[in-house]
Structure 1
Amino acid sequence: MMSDMTKLSIPDIPFSIIAETPSYLVVAKPAGMPAVPLKTGGKGETLLDAVADLYPDVRSVQGRNEWEGGVVHRLDTLTSGLTVIARTDEAWWALQAQQTAGLFAKTYAAWSFGRQDDEMFPPGFPSEIVYYVTKDGLFLRSSFRPWGVGARAVRPVCEDATGHGASKATDTIYETTIVSHEKGPGKLNTFHVQIYRGFRHQIRCHLAWYGFPLVGDSLYGGEPNDRLGLFAEKVEFEDPYAHERVVYTLGSMFFT
């Protein structure tokens, strides 16, 4: 039977345009809305479609994949919060270059009740957690490989790993920084984490590896909830037109 603590309320964030500039938009994505259409799916009820209804230019941006339009960084369907969408080809490539160079910062709030039972912890994770600590926080570090039926999930791969798993790992090493960790009522843990170069499910996987699968994240061993406990609360980058460092924040005011 689930404990009362699994009833953490994570409110829905409505779709809205947070900021508008000549070269990009900052948008709040609701949980449950895909960021972009499937490659073969055409148009649909996605964030890109909703934004393109208001700003048609975002669909004509020619980035890495034509069906993704000007979306600079995708949020998982279950994740809510801020994302950036370019309005021009030049802005898209400039913002991608910042991500590659580690200059595009994304901060998330995340909630976990911790690992409830070691036997329920998903298999395939390295037996030792790779991290280091500085004055800026605790850094989880790995590459990733696909995992499970249909490669629906990912698993961390350590830099010194060998064998079959290592051969399927990404060439890039990804870091997730735990900037702060607060313990709340009962077993609730609140994290604020930051990434510069993101990979699919990176935060979800890294926090599960650390022993804190997210609330509502059954794919990585989290306790059931009607929403995923992950919220993109801040983005920071250089405006590709004004060439000034900008910060956009939703903050945790939506959460109680």
Structure 2
Amino acid sequence: MEKAYKLLSLQKHISHSQAKSLIDSGLVSANGRKLTLARTLLDPKTSFQIQDIAPLRIIEQKGDLLVVDKPAFLESYAIQARFQGYELLHRLDRETSGVLLLARSQSQTALEIIRAFKARKVEKIYYALVSGIIPESSTINAPILTKKGKSAKSKVHKDGLEAITHITPESIVGKKTLLRVKIETGRTHQIRVHLAHIGHPILGDTLYGGANAARLMLHASDIELLGMKFHAPLPEEFRIR
């Protein structure tokens, strides 16, 4: 047995640090299962697969506003770094894809959108592919408590902040359900925590008990605010048959 990053380094002819970075970024699978720890001990004959990051697509760039379709595995802050003079107005988890808003720093547009988020005057629609069958629409109203350290992790807890999530099944195939999700609040990992709480974790969500998948199957498809609407098409991997 050998550590995963050393085997990956040897097989792909890359440095140990590059191998660790790829595994830490969630881009590596071993024998079809995503690796989460670079020091996992594996058989030397293990077969590795490295997932490519899809290209970043600009949805709209007008005035001080920049709207992009964020690919999975690209950090929100890495996108901000690509566009000098712009700031993030919200963020998406690394493996979550979809609509992401930026604006020129300290611009009136940035201030207005930040105020809209704080006043809950933003409508956000997501799609999530989950384990199990969810036959009917429902609302999850359960407070969320977040513990922040090196990384954040949340849970449903009576001492948490109000969190409201509306879910609607769009399609069911086998034992998987594609959900349309609308959130009224924006707690850390809210959708992930709420779906795990009702026993239907998102596929690929290793932090909250999700089944194996190439990525966290969560996509921010639509944002509507201040009379503007932005849409990012559902990635092909969400189209269950």
Using the size of structure 2 for normalisation, the TM-score is 0.69
Question: Which residue in 2 is equivalent to 1:48?
Answer: 80
Question: Which residue in 1 is equivalent to 2:156?
Answer: 156
Question: Which residue in 2 is equivalent to 1:25?
Answer: 66
Q: Which has the higher strand share?
A: 2
Gaps of 5+ in 2: 1-31, 35-50
Partners of 2:220 and 2:190 in 1: how far apart? 13
Partners of 1:13 and 1:82 in 2: how far apart? 14
- What CA deviation, in whole Å up to 9, does each residue of 1:183-240 have, x standing for no partner? 42210100010124312111111111122100000111110111111011111011xx
Partners of 1:11 and 1:224 in 2: how far apart? 18
Letter in structure 1 aligned against 2:58: I
Q: Tell me, what secondary structure is at the counterpart of 2:85? A: helix
Q: Does 1:229 align with 2:217?
A: yes
- What CA deviation, in whole Å up to 9, does each residue of 1:101-144 have, x standing for no partner? 221111111001139xxxxxxxxxxxxxxxxx9xxx53212332
Change (3 A) 1:253 1:224: closer
Letter in structure 1 aligned against 2:234: S
CA contact (8 A) 1:14 1:28 kept: no
CA contact (8 A) 1:74 1:83 kept: yes
Change (3 A) 1:219 1:49: same
CA contact (8 A) 1:13 1:80 kept: no
Question: Which residue in 2 is equivalent to 1:249?
Answer: 231
Deviation at 1:20, TM superposition (A): 0.9
CA contact (8 A) 2:53 2:73 kept: no
Question: Which residue in 2 is equivalent to 1:105?
Answer: 123
Following TM superposition, the consecutive aligned residue runs of length 4 or more in structure 1 with deviations greater than 3 angstroms are: 10-13, 147-152
CA contact (8 A) 1:99 1:196 kept: no
Change (3 A) 1:71 1:150: closer
Q: RMSD of the alignment, in Å?
A: 2.7
Q: Which has the higher contact order (CA 8 A, sep 6+)?
A: 1
Letter in structure 1 aligned against 2:97: S
Q: Tell me, what secondary structure is at the counterpart of 1:252? A: coil
Q: Percent identity?
A: 28
Q: How many residues align?
A: 187
Change (3 A) 1:149 1:186: farther
CA contact (8 A) 2:147 2:153 kept: yes
Q: Tell me, what secondary structure is at the counterpart of 1:219? A: helix
Gaps of 5+ in 1: 37-45, 59-69, 116-132, 239-244
- Tell which deviates more after alignment, 180-189 or 228-237: 180-189
Q: Tell me, what secondary structure is at the counterpart of 1:154? A: strand
Change (3 A) 1:210 1:151: same
